[in-house]
């Protein structure tokens, strides 16, 4: 939808993982897409820096957090053109200067609510500048004009998202949840760095607070480790097939105590090895 609403001639994309790669593929259907930078050659284990954003492009697109590879943009460029960001996997997890973005879009399924609805935040003055005819369902101006009620909304997903926002507000808001997320991240990454049996996948300065990716230094311990974390009641720790190893997803709803359980299992493995 972003490409349909903003892309007239060409756009620049920062390629930092699977979801930005897919966004680039889809945008190329409509016009000329330029990768301003990419970490694909390193299997997306870092966030590119020091790149230039062409001023004559229609917009710049980035993905704030990369779930599969465990990287996260800790800062954002001062873009001379409208900046679009996919924040699906870390929306509401940290404080940002949201005014620097022209469009933010995010699936609800990580920190906001169940799958089935999407949050889109738009500066209206970036719309209405493309010459192509946009299908009504894909046109942000149509949705804005109808007060986000152009079609029957997914009521349950929207309602649960509202409850989640109230839960977040009751906890102290984004500032409070950011502090909690940082504690969780420090705990797991400290164990990864200090425990000789494990190695982090992502470059340290770009590590995600939402998704910690790591591998075993000795694959002969995999069967033992897998049995230990499953016995501890941990689910879904296996990494994506494109990375291997393990991925600990620590979205807002995951408690610090849950991370402590995993760290204890990792520590126990070291004592048994």
User: From residue 40, how far is each of 16, 17, 83, 209 by CA, in Å?
Assistant: 7, 7, 21, 21
Catalytic residue among 58, 86, 90, 102: 86
Tokens in use for 64? Answer: 């704030």
* 31-68 burial: b if 16+ Cβ within 10 Å, else e: eebeebbbbeeeebbbbbeeeebeeebbbbbbbbbbbb
- Report which DSSP code applies to 207: B
Catalytic residue among 58, 90, 102, 110: 110
Could you confirm whether 139 is annotated as catalytic? no
Could you confirm whether 229 is annotated as catalytic? no
Tell me which long-range contacts 124-131 makes (C-beta under 8 A, separation of at least 24): 126/6, 126/59, 126/82, 126/102, 127/5, 127/6, 129/6, 129/8, 130/4, 130/5, 130/6, 130/7, 130/8, 131/8
User: Given the structure tokens 């230990």, which residue do they identify?
Assistant: 228
> Percentages helix, strand, coil for the chain, rounded to the nearest 5?
40, 20, 45
Residues labelled as active-site residues: 19, 86, 110
């Amino acid at each position: 939808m972003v490409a349909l609403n903003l892309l007239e001639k060409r756009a620049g994309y920062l390629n930092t993982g699977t979801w930005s790669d897919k966004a680039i593929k889809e945008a190329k259907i409509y016009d000329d897409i330029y990768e301003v930078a990419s970490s694909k050659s390193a299997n997306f284990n870092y966030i590119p820096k020091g790149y230039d954003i062409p001023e004559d492009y229609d917009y710049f697109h980035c993905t704030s957090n990369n779930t599969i590879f465990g990287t996260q943009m800790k800062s954002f460029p001062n873009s001379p053109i409208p900046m679009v960001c996919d924040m699906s996997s870390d929306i509401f997890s940290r404080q940002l200067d949201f005014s620097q973005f022209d469009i933010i879009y995010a699936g609800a399924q990580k920190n906001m609510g169940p799958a089935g609805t999407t949050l889109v935040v738009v500066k209206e003055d970036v719309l209405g500048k493309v010459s192509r005819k946009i299908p009504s369902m894909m046109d942000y101006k149509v949705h804005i004009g109808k007060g986000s009620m152009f079609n029957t909304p997914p009521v349950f997903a929207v309602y649960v998202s509202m409850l989640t926002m109230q839960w977040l507000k009751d906890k102290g808001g984004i500032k409070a949840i950011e502090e909690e997320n940082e504690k969780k991240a420090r705990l797991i990454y400290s164990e990864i760095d200090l425990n000789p049996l494990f190695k982090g996948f992502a470059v340290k300065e770009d590590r995600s607070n939402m998704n910690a990716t790591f591998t075993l230094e000795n694959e002969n311990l995999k069967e033992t480790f897998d049995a230990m974390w499953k016995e501890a009641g941990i689910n879904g720790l296996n990494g994506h097939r494109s990375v291997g190893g393990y991925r600990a997803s620590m979205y807002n709803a995951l408690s610090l105590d849950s991370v402590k359980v995993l760290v204890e299992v990792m520590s126990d493995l070291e004592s048994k090895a």
